[in-house]
Structure 1
């Protein structure tokens, strides 16, 4: 099979399109590169959705943790402690066990006299169940980053805002939040990189793949088992993740320059990538 034929047959297999049968017999390099790249679609899916949705939840958690009101502060503190204090793989396992206990037929409830039936069987699938775990996990880590930056906002900036008559939401939107993001962005970039790397753990979790079309490691293991040579598919996976990391660095670097555009060029903080070896 040529590279063009492999691309046409397997480029979108992870989404349920194209050739359904996996390569058999003599497996070439093109088939491995294309199929593993197809599986990366799911890794990108998990990372993009968990990061984008988790950003807003993390900001809310950070603000709640910094609140003087105990009713807001304590739930945020315990949530952050729970998901930062336990391994991500255990969170996958516990979430799957909890989701499979939900009734398969769904849950019925009433709101204002209107009967609503909610599907629950999708929670035990990787595309939703694993996404929820990644969403909660990255929200907790990002919230701690944002909380530290929130506490580090210079008092002079806040006093200047008070002097201009800014208060409440206007003060937060125009002064506190932009400064928090500027201070937190380098560390948040590292969290984003780690999150995309952590999507590889979905393969090892209990959540089943969508229509037996899994992520990059799903296909890498298949090729390693079929060819008895793990030194080709797994480096391909690593290469895809390196390219993905470079893309994140470029994107988040552009945002970092945008956040610090008002500073002199010499005073603008540069991104320093510090991968987490153990989390």
Structure 2
């Protein structure tokens, strides 16, 4: 029977691959509570990876899509509206299967897919992995949801602020940087915080879809399912995953709360909007 120190050494980085801990996962009667505690914790590395990169890239892409949606040019707002409608109108789980089919199954069937910078073939490896293909799906999905939030915020910017910018002679990028963008973020930030939380929870779907976990390298829920299959006891692994994600949620609320205070630093303390977590039960 392993000690907790041995479990920590063998499994705390095991989610990165077999080169970073025990080559084989614990099985059957050899599984201890510490094994589950540290191996599931190691899987959070991938949850944080997916959520972190998706939030960063999705934030900037969502800003661009929201501006295109807000534009009066039909060549910009119609494609942006169609993009938002598609990714908000279809379930995230279906999107994972759709893109897996495009990245893996079609090239295996002899159908190469040109994407401009790369052509997907049967030998193309990065997009067929969860670490790249699954991340791309999360980026596109959160871009659509965040763009709709930012678009609504753009429409809600006080007209007086824009008129004041015009009176000061602001135009172009200066007007966007000093007036439009800060107001957009200030209005959308509480809702965007909830989107970031939900995106973090959605990372549990990556390995639940068809994207493979190579070298038994998966995220927290992947290892929780493994332990349940081995021990036939769902009353430790699943609550443990929930507890870890509650901690991640608290961390996100704290970080986004700091940003929220920064965005509203010009307002009196009693007038600053407070962040409230409002879970979305239906995506």
Report the TM-score, using the length of structure 1 for normalisation. Answer: 0.94
2:97 counterpart of 1:99: no
**Residues 69 and 215 (structure 1), Cα distance of their counterparts in 2 relative to 1, 3 Å cut:** same
The reply to whether residue 241 of structure 1 matches residue 241 of structure 2 is: no
- How far off its partner does 1:106 sit? 11
Matched residue, 1:193 = 197
Write out per-residue CA displacement over residues 41-85 of structure 1, whole angstroms, 9 at most, x where no aligned residue: 111111111111000000000000000101011110000000000
Question: Which residue number in structure 1 is paired with residue 167 of structure 2?
Answer: 163
Q: Which residue of 2 aligns with 1:23?
A: 26
Structure 2 gaps, min length 5: none
Partner of 1:13: 14
Query: SS state of the match for residue 232, structure 1?
Result: helix
Please give the secondary structure, in 2, of the residue aligned with 1:262. Answer: coil
- Whether 1:61 and 2:65 are equivalent positions in the alignment is yes
Corresponding residue for residue 158 of structure 2? 154
**Contact kept in structure 1, 2:107 and 2:113, CA below 8 Å:** no
Whether the 8 Å CA contact 2:157–2:180 is kept in 1: the answer is: yes
Question: How many pairs align?
Answer: 275
What is the aligned partner in structure 1 of residue 149 from structure 2? 145
* Residues 1:144 and 1:116: Cα distance change in structure 2 (over 3 Å): closer
> Structure 2 vs 1, CA of residues 190 and 108 (structure 1 numbering), >3 Å: closer, same or farther?
closer
Match of 1:223 in 2: 227
Runs of 4+ with >3 A deviation = 101-109, 115-119
1:14-93 maps to which residues of 2 (within 5 A)? 14-16=15-17, 17-24=20-27, 25-93=29-97
8 Å contact kept, 1:47–1:199: yes
User: How far apart are residue 238 of structure 1 and its match?
Assistant: 0.4
Match of 2:5 in 1: 4
Secondary structure of the corresponding residue to residue 96 of structure 1: helix
Which TM-score applies when normalising by structure 2?
0.93
